[in-house]
Amino acid sequence: MKRNTRLSSTLHILVHMAEKPEHALTSEQLATFIHTNPVVVRRTIAGLRDAGIVTSSRGHGGGWLLGRAPENISLAEISAALGETLLPLSTAPESPGCLVEQAVIAVLDDFRVAAEKLLAEKLSRITLADLTADFRRRYDLIGVSSHAV
Amino acid sequence: MKRNTRLSSTLHILVHMAEKPEHALTSEQLATFIHTNPVVVRRTIAGLRDAGIVTSSRGHGGGWLLGRAPENISLAEISAALGETLLPLSTAPESPGCLVEQAVIAVLDDFRVAAEKLLAEKLSRITLADLTADFRRRYDLIGVSSHAV
DNA sequence: CGATATTGTAACTAATTAAGTTACATGAAG
DNA sequence: CTTCATGTAACTTAATTAGTTACAATATCG
């Protein structure tokens, strides 16, 4: 089954941005982090700009900046801004009038709605700041072990 | 975004099978319920046979039967037997050595594992019997309203 | 035994989607 | 006014899944 890499790629980009809060990063630079094309980056994070999670500016010296402090950016918002559900479970009718299908859809739809709420709650408790903290912990560890050798 | 219809289609098929516990239904018959091809049906529910949720027999009078009572078949088992995750969230490394990516993956992977467990728990509380009960409720309602008119 | 009905599965084709690419208009800075 | 950047449309490519065809294996019935 194909897995969705967009959330993971976007978080990767955002942590890099959080690590360089002073200057805008270009789509070109962001693209190299996730080994892709600048246009793909712009397209992917366009929704984040609309949600105020990042800002973009054109022209010389332009690029992308976080729209607010990493502490105030939750993974739930990021995921929502990407415009994709985490649970791509279809509950759309395909045999209108079939009571069996109606029963299946009713039960499955209840599950889907409740599950999406649960997932959003879990993600809302993780912020971009948690990710950068985790990164710095790893970074410092490498430094220490390098000194030790 | 493309949504996965396999769980919904499979449940549709299984409820029909639960409603006719006395005789085997052929792939051909099952295929008509979900407007597809018998081979697609066989391929889709092959995993359910391996999991003991259904049984199949060849030859004249052959076809598919539930492997046990609907009360003892949970949606968690069915979903697992389909061999697809409900949360197609990639946490696979794409930039080996990048500490930012490692931090992102660590956090996201924890989330994924915990979320999958939560979803499985929710699904394990719903059985095929719940679905057939819901179907019969709808069926009886239609009957009543028909008589009323 | 031979005819018929059914699953199991491999191999191929078609349809759909997401990713990647090209091209260029728009706008900002020096 | 040149350069650098985003915004976005349009197109191409790649990957995945669904659908189809074909046929071997197997079971039943007469």
> Domain spans of chain A?
6-148
Q: Any idea which nucleotide's C1' is nearest the CA of A35?
A: C20
For residue B147, pLDDT over 80 is answered with: no
Residue with tokens 């030790």: A148
Per residue in B17-63, pLDDT tens?
Answer: 999 998 999 999 999 999 999 999 999 999 999 999 999 999 999 99
Map residue B55 onto helix, strand or coil: strand
Binned at pLDDT 50, 70 and 90, residue A1 comes out as confident
CA distances from A104 to A6, A145, B84 (A): 30, 56, 19
Binned at pLDDT 50, 70 and 90, residue A147 comes out as low
Q: Report, as an integer, the average pLDDT of A100-104.
A: 97
Q: What is the pLDDT at residue B146?
A: 63
CA distances from B29 to A123, B35, B109 (A): 43, 10, 41
Bases of chain D within 7 A of a CB of the protein: 3-10, 15-22, 25-29
Our CA-based measurement puts residue A62 at a distance from the nearest CA of chain B, in whole angstroms, of 23
What beta strand segments (E) does A1-130 contain? 54-57, 63-66
Map residue B140 onto helix, strand or coil: helix
Per residue in B2-28, pLDDT tens?
Answer: 899 999 999 999 999 999 998 999 999
For A6-148, give the CATH class.
mainly alpha
How far is the C-alpha of A91 from the C-alpha of A89, rounded, in Å? 6
Per residue in A12-37, pLDDT tens?
Answer: 999 999 999 989 999 999 999 999 99
- Residues facing residue A99 across a β-bridge: none
How far is the C-alpha of A105 from the C-alpha of A108, rounded, in Å? 5
Q: What is the CA A11 to C1' D14 distance in angstroms?
A: 25
Q: Are A104 and A111 in contact (CB under 8 A)?
A: no
Bases of chain C within 7 A of a CB of the protein: 3-11, 16-23, 26-30
For residue B96, pLDDT over 60 is answered with: yes
Binned at pLDDT 50, 70 and 90, residue B68 comes out as very high
Our CA-based measurement puts residue B22 at a distance from the nearest CA of chain A, in whole angstroms, of 18
Q: What is the pLDDT at residue B148?
A: 56
For residue A96, pLDDT over 90 is answered with: no
* Beta-carbon separation of A100 and B16 below 8 A: yes
CA distances from A131 to A123, A128, B101, B121, B123 (A): 12, 5, 10, 28, 30
Tokens of B148: 């009323």
Q: Report, as an integer, the average pLDDT of A48-72.
A: 98
Q: Report, as an integer, the average pLDDT of A137-147.
A: 81
Minimum-distance CB partner of A103 among B114, B115, B131: B131
